[in-house]
Homo-oligomer: A and B are copies of this chain.
Amino acid sequence: MLTTAPPTERDQFSPGTRQLLDRASAYCAAHAGRLTETRRLVLGLITEASKPVGAYDILDHLRSFQKNAAPPTVYRALDFLLAQGLIHRIERLTAFVGCAHRLDCTHEGGCGHRAQFLICSVCGTVSELEEPGIARAIHDAAKAIGFRPSHATVEIEGVCAQCQTR
């Protein structure tokens, strides 16, 4: 009889996603990290989603690949991907999105990636900005009062262009 092997990413992820995962794998290797099977699956699941996904949503889907996945499985993968800069956490949604820029960053090693996020309250999508003007305004305001910033969370809620036309 045929054995019922668990599905692989090949069954579930689009070619575009799998290509991104391959690039991410190379990126990790170049930064002293290993995009292991679990991490790759988690990044793939986040990439395939069109909206931010919660950790337990990821866990549910991950279980279709690995039946014994548990919360630490997901959180460890998320920690790694966050450290590599391959995903972002959206604080206001307690959810995660893929980074739109990291793999295209030309600064080899420690690109100071500072993004802002636009959250559409109608369709739920999140888009990522890299506006130097915002980063500069924040930096200047902090400097003016002697505060040394290390990281800024900027999450803008509103209605996206597409949802305004409906």
Chain A: residues with CB nearer than 8 A to chain B? 91-92, 116, 118, 120-121, 127, 129, 131, 133-134, 136-138, 140-142, 145-161, 164
Residue in B closest to A136 when the chains form the complex, CB atoms: B137
Query: Which one of B91, B92, B153, B158 contacts A142 once the chains associate, using CB atoms below 8 Å?
Result: B158
Contact B160 A156 (CB under 8 A): no
A-B contact pairs, 21 of them (CB 8 A): A91-B92, A91-B155, A118-B149, A120-B147, A121-B150, A127-B147, A131-B141, A133-B137, A133-B141, A134-B138, A134-B141, A136-B137, A137-B137, A142-B156, A147-B158, A147-B160, A148-B164, A149-B158, A151-B157, A152-B154, A153-B156
Q: How far is the CB of A25 from chain B (nearest CB, A)?
A: 30
Q: How far is the CB of A104 from chain B (nearest CB, A)?
A: 18
Note all chain B residues with C-beta closer than 8 A to A140.
133
Total copies of this chain within the assembly = 2
Contact A161 B138 (CB under 8 A): no
Q: Please, how many angstroms separate the alpha-carbon atoms of A164 and B129 in the complex? A: 31
Note all chain B residues with C-beta closer than 8 A to A131.
137, 141
Contact A157 B161 (CB under 8 A): no
Note all chain B residues with C-beta closer than 8 A to A120.
147
Note all chain B residues with C-beta closer than 8 A to A136.
137
Note all chain B residues with C-beta closer than 8 A to A158.
142, 147-151
Contact A164 B138 (CB under 8 A): no
